Amino acid sequence: MNIASFSRRDFLAAGVAATSLLNIVETARGFQANDTLNVAVLGTGGRSQRMLMPRLARIPNVRLAAVCDVWDGHLAAGAKLADSKAVQENTDFRRLLDRSDIDAVVIGAPDHWHVPMTIAACEAGKDVYVEKPLTHDLSEGEAVIDAQNKHKRIVQVGTQQRNMPHLIEARKILKTGVLGKIHKIHLSWNRNSSRWARTKYGIKPSSVRWKQFLGNAPNQPFDEYRMRNWRWCWDFGGGIFTDLMVHWIDTAYWMLDMDNPATAMSIGDHFAAKGLWETPDTVQTLLRYPDQKLQAYFEGTFVNHQNRSSLTFMGTEANLYCDRGRYELQPERGKKIDAKKRVDGKRDILGLDFYDEVDGALYHLREWVDCVRTRKKTSCPAEQGVRSAAAAHMANLSYRQGKTVRWTRG
C-alpha cells in the first residue's frame, strides 16, 4: 500500500506537546462559588436537547441564559429547556458573545462550527464547553489552542469518559503497571441501526438560515437530509472515526499519556448507507505508535453490535477491559494477578453503550463549571481535544486517499 507522508505542520496536533496553560487567573467577574453562571447554548439540536441542557440545569447556580440555532425548530425546542427569560438568537451567535451578561458558552453545533465558535468565544472572553471532535480539520488545531491560551479561557472538550468514576479507577489500575508491557489496544463502537432511509422531515427552507448553517463549508443548495444528518457528510462531520472512535482514543490517550500515531491505515465500506451517507457505515483502522511500541486497532459499524462500545488494553501480564458501564482486569493465562471487576449501575452487559446509570456528561459538565469558578485546567482542554481528533482525522485521510498516512516529526 502506498504511504502518504505528512509533516509536523500538516498534523498540527503534534504541536500539542506545548501544553502549558496559564494556571490560576481571574475572570472579569471574579466568580465566587455561589455566583450564578450565565451560559449561552450555541446549537440546540439533539445533543444539546437530550444531554447537555438537561444536565446543565441540574448543576447548582448555572442559568441557561441564552440559546442560539439557525433552524427555528431547534431554537424553539432549546428555548423550552432554558430559563423562561432566556435570550433567543436565530441568526448570528456572535450577538450573544457580545453580551456582557453571558459568562460562558456550550457549543452543540455541527463539527465544522466547533473551532470557529470556540475561537470567537475565547476572543470575547467567554469560557467554553465544546462537543467533540474539537476540530473538523487538522489545520484548525494550532489556532484553537492559541485562542484558549492567549485569552486565558477555560475550555472543556466533550469527551466525557474522562470523568466517568469507573474509568478514573481503571486508569489508576493501569498506572500501577499491573498489565506489564502494553503493546496493543483494541477499540470498538458497533451498533446495529435501522436508519437506512432518506427521511423526509418536512423542514421549510424559510425556517432555516442556511448560509449561517454552512459557515465555512462549500456553498450548496438547502438539503434537509444533509442538515439533519450532518455527521455523515464530509462538509460538516467526519463519520464514525470523528463521532465515535474519538471517544475511546481520547480515553486511551488520557490513560496512557499517548502522543499522536506515526501512521494510520484504514478501510471503510457502505454496506447499508450507500446513497445516503458520504462517510462509510463500516470502518477499521490500525494506528501505530512506534515510540511506545504500541498498536491501536479500531472497528466501527452500524450493521452489527458485536463488541458494542469498548476499549481493551492488552498487556503481557493482564488485560484491562473498559466500557461505559464497567471495567474488568483479566489476568493472562498462567499469570498470578487477581482478577478485578467493577460494574456501575444495574446492567452487567459487556460493551455497554447506551446507558442509564453512569452519567458521564453530567460529571464532565460539572467539572467544567467548577473549573470556570476556580480557574483550574479541565481534564480535557483544547490541546487534548486537538490531539484526540487528530487520530480520527488521520484515519479518515487514510480511508479517503486509499493509502497509509504518516505523520513525521519536523
Q: What is the CATH number of the domain that holds 147?
A: 3.40.50.720
d(C-alpha 340, C-alpha 328), whole Å: 6
Pairing of strands 326-331, 282-289: unpaired
Of the candidates 195, 205, 366, 221, the one whose C-alpha atom is nearest the C-alpha of residue 281 is 195
Task: Determine contact, residues 237/231, Cβ cutoff 8 Å.
Answer: yes
Contacts of 281 (CB under 8 A, 6+ apart): 193, 240, 269, 270, 271, 272, 273, 301, 302, 303
Provide the CATH number for the domain around residue 175: 3.30.360.10
Rg (CA), the chain: 21
Residue 52 forms part of a structural domain: yes
Same domain, 179 and 129: no
Same domain, 299 and 368: no
Task: Determine contact, residues 41/74, Cβ cutoff 8 Å.
Answer: no
Same domain, 168 and 287: yes
Residue 349 forms part of a structural domain: yes
d(C-alpha 154, C-alpha 373), whole Å: 10
Contacts of 217 (CB under 8 A, 6+ apart): 112, 235, 236
Quick one: cell of 50?
437530550
d(C-alpha 306, C-alpha 325), whole Å: 16
Same domain, 81 and 174: no
Residue 381 forms part of a structural domain: no
Of the candidates 56, 64, 60, the one whose C-alpha atom is nearest the C-alpha of residue 39 is 64
d(C-alpha 249, C-alpha 255), whole Å: 10
Residue 382 forms part of a structural domain: no
Considering the entire predicted model, what is its pTM? 0.91
Please count the CA atoms within 13 angstroms of the CA of 26 that sit on its side-chain side: 4
Task: Determine contact, residues 314/329, Cβ cutoff 8 Å.
Answer: no
Same domain, 257 and 151: no
Domain hosting residue 242, numbered range: 163-197+228-358+392-407
Same domain, 298 and 170: yes
Residue 289 forms part of a structural domain: yes
Contacts of 334 (CB under 8 A, 6+ apart): none
Same domain, 43 and 104: yes
- For residue 222, how many other CB atoms are within 10 A of its CB? 15
Distance of CA 161 to the CA centre of its chain: 10
Domain count, the chain: 2
Same domain, 338 and 369: no
Same domain, 41 and 101: yes
Same domain, 107 and 169: no
d(C-alpha 330, C-alpha 337), whole Å: 8
Quick one: cell of 344?
456501575
Instruction: Find out whether the peptide bond into 133 is cis, omega within 30 degrees of 0.
Output: yes
Contacts of 309 (CB under 8 A, 6+ apart): 188, 189, 190, 244, 247, 248, 323, 324, 351, 352, 353
Residue 353 forms part of a structural domain: yes
d(C-alpha 62, C-alpha 54), whole Å: 11
- For residue 150, how many other CB atoms are within 10 A of its CB? 12
pLDDT of res. 392: 98
The beta strand positions in 141-218, using DSSP E, are 155-157, 182-190
Task: Determine contact, residues 120/145, Cβ cutoff 8 Å.
Answer: no
Terminal Cα distance for the chain, rounded = 24
Residue 5 forms part of a structural domain: no
Same domain, 353 and 368: no
In tens digits, the chain (410 residues) has pLDDT values of 345 555 444 433 333 333 333 232 334 456 666 689 999 999 999 999 999 999 999 999 999 999 999 999 999 999 999 999 999 998 899 999 999 999 999 999 999 999 999 999 999 999 999 999 999 999 999 999 999 999 999 999 999 999 999 999 999 999 999 999 999 999 999 999 877 889 999 999 999 999 999 999 999 999 999 999 999 999 999 999 999 999 999 999 999 999 899 999 999 999 999 999 999 999 999 999 988 899 999 999 999 989 899 999 999 999 999 999 899 999 998 887 888 888 876 666 666 665 555 799 999 999 999 999 999 999 999 999 999 999 999 999 999 999 999 987 54
Pairing of strands 182-190, 127-130: unpaired
- Identify the burial level of 189 via C-beta atoms within 10 angstroms of its C-beta, where 0-12 means exposed, 13-18 middle and 19 or more buried: buried
pLDDT of res. 11: 39
DSSP H or E run through 166:
helix 165-175
